[in-house]
Amino acid sequence: MTGGRRASTPPPRQIDATTGPARNKSLRVNPTRTRARRARGGARALLLSFAFALLAGCEEGPPRPSEPERPEPPPPQPSAAPALPPAGSAAAGASAAAPAETGEPHAAAPWQGTWEGSYDAKKGSVVLPPKVKDAARTKDDGKLAAGAGTVTLTVAPSGELKGTAKGALGDATLVGKVEDGMVRASVFPEDPRAPNAMTGILVGELKEGVIQGKIRVTGPDATLVRESPVELRKK
């Protein structure tokens, strides 16, 4: 480099094939560069041929598989519903069941029906704890709400019962039920505001066609207690 300027490089001299060997003798040929150029040219040709072969293979590849065919639906199954019997057999069944329905009626329950009986009310006993005295009961002489009376009960096939009572214990209504041969009924006064309105129970047992039991009632202040055995027979 001279004076800060870069020296220019002269272009390489080319070999003129038309000239004689004497003229080209001064020019040197590098065999290594020539082989490299030939190798690069061969590699490019090989890559191009491989690319063309790949494109041809893609275009001539096997066709895409088509969608699978849908299977045919299964045949309809027979219905699980039972077949209806012929009209003739249905009529025969109805006629066969008719005699059973029109046969003799079922026997009535032993308690079903109307029952009537009587009572004779007297002063009832009350059990008190030891050393306990009831002055009000001591004054009861047993003459009030004492004497005879009647009881009428009507019992349904289900065992439900309703009835009435009249007599010394006043007019009353009875409501209850018969279960397993036992009769249980509550006694309610017709007039709850009456001075001697009696409230209580009737308990009995159905045995050999007779209801044998006991009626026990008390007055409004529970100091007046009356009771009586009762015997009811079917009317």
Instruction: Give residue-wise pLDDT tens across range 3-59.
Output: 445 545 555 555 444 444 444 444 454 555 555 556 565 656 665 565 555 555 544
188 vs 165: CA distance, rounded Å:
10
Euclidean distance between CA atoms 185 and 204, whole angstroms: 9
pLDDT of residue 126: 84
| pLDDT of amino acid 67 | 52
164-211 pLDDT, tens digit per residue, is 999 999 999 999 999 999 999 999 999 999 998 999 999 999 999 999
Looking at per-residue pLDDT, the higher value among 136 and 222 belongs to 222
> Architecture of domain 113-234 in CATH?
Beta Barrel (2.40)
Residue 154, pLDDT above cutoff 60: yes
**Residue 107 — very low, low, confident or very high, per pLDDT cuts 50/70/90?**
confident
Q: Please report, for the chain, the start and end positions of each structural domain, with discontinuous segments joined by +.
A: 21-56, 113-234
Nearest in space to 178 (alpha carbons), one of 202, 165, 160, 151: 160
Going by their DSSP bridges, the two strands 210-218 and 199-207 should be labelled as antiparallel
pLDDT tens digits, residue range 111-131? 899 999 999 999 998 887 887
- The reported pTM is 0.54
